[in-house]
Every structure is written in structure tokens, then in C-alpha cells.
Amino acid sequence: MQKLVVACLLTFLIVATAVPVSGAGQSQTVLVIYSNHQSLPANREIDDAIRETLGADTHLDLRYQTEFLDYPRFGDVGDKAYDKLVSDFLREKYAGQSIDAMVAVGLQAFQLLSRHRDDLFPDMQVLVVDIPRSVYENQPLPAGFLAIPIEIKPLATLKLAVRLQPEAREIVVVTGVSNYDLASEQSTRSALTAWQEHPPVRYLSGLPLDSVLSELTRLPHSSIVYVPSLLQDGNGKTYATRDVVLNPKP
């Protein structure tokens, strides 16, 4: 469903707003900036959806450009040195280039363009995908930004887990040390305050992955393990959360 929504709204953005009618017959460029690395499963799914959409018969000559910011592998939110490095790179690379539509995928890409859109891509319309609605609930999006939020509902997820496993005696929440990991942990803690009758909750936060796995192997079958985000472990190694869950390797 998310793949379909992204594809349809991107088509709308390109055809109805970002590409002027007068540009018919001219090559148009769509630049997609991803927060993380190229092999992240979610990025591959979004990339496939966008490419499929851009390959459809839109009667436009479209070029597709991608950039991957590699958060948190090389830097994280608040890292001013990495922010300068990335913004300088994009500024030099796309100097004099014509960009007709732009997509920011994920929180870090959104934040980067919020800070630097005016000095990197002035007046550019930006479609933002894969960010929680809470990011802009209390502060309006910058002018020219359109968002497709993701809905992450830890409370609903954990209540469903308990219904499926009514004998559960403990919930174990596993998170990493990246800023996104920490935000996911805080969101989970906040959500659980509205559910007084939940099983006891224990947090494995910011540990090396091998320590996490060692702890999890000792859990009884009556435990529920919830991994909202583990992009970087306590040793500084980076992962894709889905890969950690499906095929955990320190």
C-alpha cells in the first residue's frame, strides 16, 4: 500500500505541479535524496516504486537521479561537520544543473533540505516521504514541502502482539544508538504510558548486537521481542533493522 501511495503521489507531483507544461519535449530531472544507504530494504522498495512510476507512459522525457546520505553510517543528526560535507558535495555536484522535481526520503534527508534547500535548490518543490507525522505536527512544513507521513504505532503493535501471544510474561524492546533509534525508543516508552495493564517491559538499549543476541537467546518462549529500530548498535556498527531481525549477525 505504501509503495502504491508513493508512486501515485510522485506521479501527481511530477505531472501536475513540478514539471511545467511549457517543458514538454524537454528532458526533465527528478532528484531523490535518501537518508540512509542504498541497500536498506525500505530504500530499495521505495526506489523500485519510483522507478516503476517514472518508467510509466507519462509523455515526459524523465531522468532519475539518486543520492544516499548514508546516515547514521558516516554521521548523524546534529553532526555539523558531516552536514557541511554533504551539503557542499551536493552544491558542487548540482551547480548549474536543472532539477525539476525533488523527493526527500526519510528524516535526515528532510532535515538536510529544510536547512539547505534555499542555498542548494532554491524554490524547489520537495515531496517528503517516510517521516513520522510527529515531525511536523507542532511546526508547519517549510513552504514548498509536501509530506507523505508514515504511521508508526507501537502501542497498537504491542497490543496486537499480546493478543496473539496471551501467555506473554514480558515485553523486551530492542533499540540502538542512532538518533532515529533513540527517538523510536522514546516513542515506544511514551506510547506505553497509555496502557497500564501491559506485561512488564524491559529495554535493551544501545548494546552491541552480540550482547543483545546473547540476552535474547536466554529469553523464555513467553517473551515478546519488539525491535522498533536498530540502525546502529553500541559498538557503532550500522545495520538495517529488518536484516537484524530476520538474519541477525554481529
Same domain, 122 and 163: no
- Summarised one tens digit per residue, pLDDT across range 136-161 is 877 888 888 988 888 889 999 999 99
Same domain, 116 and 197: no
Same domain, 39 and 134: yes
Q: How far is the CA of 226 from the CAs of 8, 122, 144, 157, 242, in angstroms? A: 32, 42, 36, 9, 12
pTM: 0.77
Same domain, 80 and 159: no
**pLDDT for the residue 66:** 94
Same domain, 18 and 140: yes
Same domain, 201 and 213: yes
Domain boundary among 125, 150, 175: 150
**pLDDT for the residue 14:** 56
Mean pLDDT over the full length of the chain:
85
Q: Which CATH number belongs to the domain containing residue 93 in this structure? A: 3.40.50.2300
Same domain, 126 and 180: no
Same domain, 116 and 215: no
- Burial grade of 130 (CB within 10 A; 0-12, 13-18, 19 or more): buried
Quote the number of domains for the chain. 2
Domain boundary among 150, 171, 190: 150
Q: What range does the domain containing 105 cover?
A: 2-150
